Amino acid sequence: MKFAHSKEDNLGLDDKTLLQNIGWRYLISERFYYNLYLARQKDSEGTEVNFPEVRFRDKYEIERFGIRNDLGYEIDKNHSVEIGAFYTIEKGTYSFKIRDIKEGRDIEGKEEYNKNPFEVSFYLQNKLNLGRIHLFPGLRWDYFKLNERRNISPRFNLSYDLLKDLSLNLSAGAYYEPPELTEFSKVNGEHLKDIPSKLVNQYVLGVDHKFRNVNIKLEGYYKDYKRLVLDKKGFAKGIDLLFKYKDRDILSFLSYSYLVSKRYNEDIKWYYHDYDETHTIPFVFNYKLKRWLDLNLKYHFGSGKPYTPYKGTPIEGKWNSERYPEYQRVDLKLSKDFRFSNSELTTYLEIVNLFNHKNVFMYYWDWDEEKGSCERKAVYQLPFLPILGAIFKF
């Protein structure tokens, strides 16, 4: 995604993600199967700042290649087991360029965070049906080359059928993540081996109701964050409510999420996390006009994420103490399928931000020496944007 900005602004942002994946499934027997997945992801974040005499550009680029293998076996109708392995390799670079317009010269630099750090993971997942009770115990082992840590993560899910179409669900588990490549540039004087893997202990309780073409889910969750790189600890808690409808021609869902997410460090104490958004409401409506023609309508509302203000001087205000304006966007898409013997081509026309709502991506402040104060300016996300595209599957 590329964020647009006006010609009057002297700050621009360029944020892009490229995803590529391919999968293969092989049925060894009626009870025995094998899955293979290959994936590539490339993320880039760029900043451009323009002043009368100086132009500055920088870019973070992170590229990931992954392979996943799954092997599953159905022991009987009430018991199945699955084992699998993941291998992911990752590399990241940071580059910058400073252009001295007056002198007509450039200063450039490039840094690799780490040469091809990789991750290896193995997992074991069981599924047991005991009448009304369904158990999903699992175990995962991870090795992260980046900080050379090995971690074991137990996970457990339980589902109890209260009625024929109503179930109570409970899950708990530990989830480890390696520090991100970009975080190492923010940690001074520490060796990579001294930085632990981030740990999230997650607990979820919910109910799931299915009635004809309608599915309703309500979940409450709590996440306990430990061993963070830049913060000491943190938590996230919230509620998710989902309504889903599906029939032959229509697939639609409406959801509501309530979230509180905070982090703690010694300097700032407790503060709202950058991605804390109290209320979000996404809505999706898919309608098959004809066998080969689809209509897709999407709406998203967000109450606004936090940011750190400047109080009229170059000194920052309280960390993440104010909120961006609410986010609203409507997308409309019309797609047509062309099916061949061993492949499929989908062409589409999509209109992003149909009503051209001005959604703020971020604020920045220009310091005015004469006034002795900062002027707040906004960088906006995508405006009204028609897109023609095609997807080929084989």
Residue 158 has pLDDT above 80, yes or no: yes
Region of poorest pLDDT, from 74-88, 117-131, 291-305, 314-328: 314-328
For residue 343, is it within any domain?
Answer: yes
- pLDDT interval class at 312 (50, 70, 90): low
For residue 372, is it within any domain?
Answer: yes
- pLDDT interval class at 171 (50, 70, 90): very high
pLDDT value of position 310: 75
For residue 247, is it within any domain?
Answer: yes
- pLDDT interval class at 2 (50, 70, 90): very low
Here the contacts of 316-321 (C-beta below 8 Å, separation 24 or greater) are 318/271, 319/268, 319/271, 320/271, 320/272, 320/273, 320/274, 320/276, 321/271
Residue 277 has pLDDT above 70, yes or no: yes
Task: Spell out where 131-191 has E strands.
Answer: 133-144, 149-163, 166-177
Owning domain of residue 369:
231-394
- pLDDT interval class at 151 (50, 70, 90): very high
Residue 267 burial (10 A CB sphere; 0-12, 13-18, 19+)? exposed
Question: What average pLDDT does the structure give for the chain?
Answer: 86
Residue 282 burial (10 A CB sphere; 0-12, 13-18, 19+)? middle
For residue 54, is it within any domain?
Answer: no
pLDDT value of position 188: 47
For residue 52, is it within any domain?
Answer: no
Dist CA 177 CA 389 (whole Å):
35
Structural domain count, the chain:
1
Query: What percentage of the chain exceeds 70 in pLDDT?
Result: 88
Dist CA 247 CA 356 (whole Å):
32
Query: What percentage of the chain exceeds 90 in pLDDT?
Result: 54
Q: Which residues contact 295 (CB under 8 A, 6 or more apart)?
A: 286, 287, 288, 289, 333, 334
Residue 4 has pLDDT above 50, yes or no: no
pLDDT value of position 81: 97
Number of Cα atoms under 13 Å in the Cβ half of residue 193: 1
pLDDT value of position 1: 32
For residue 348, is it within any domain?
Answer: yes
Report the pLDDT averaged over residues 212-225: 96
Residue 314 has pLDDT above 60, yes or no: no
- pLDDT interval class at 315 (50, 70, 90): low
- What does the pLDDT look like over 326-383, one tens digit per residue? 999 999 999 998 888 888 888 999 999 999 999 998 887 776 677 777 778 888 888 8
For residue 235, is it within any domain?
Answer: yes
- What does the pLDDT look like over 369-391, one tens digit per residue? 777 777 788 888 888 999 898 88
CA distances from residue 324 to 24, 276, 342, 358 in whole angstroms, order as listed? 43, 11, 48, 12
Dist CA 388 CA 223 (whole Å):
40
Residue 263 has pLDDT above 80, yes or no: yes
Region of poorest pLDDT, from 15-19, 41-45, 100-104: 100-104
Whats the size of the chain, residue-wise? Answer: 394
Residue 317 has pLDDT above 80, yes or no: no
**Strongest mean pLDDT among 106-115, 186-195, 298-307:** 298-307
For residue 107, is it within any domain?
Answer: no
Residue 334 burial (10 A CB sphere; 0-12, 13-18, 19+)? middle
- pLDDT interval class at 191 (50, 70, 90): low
Dist CA 162 CA 352 (whole Å):
43
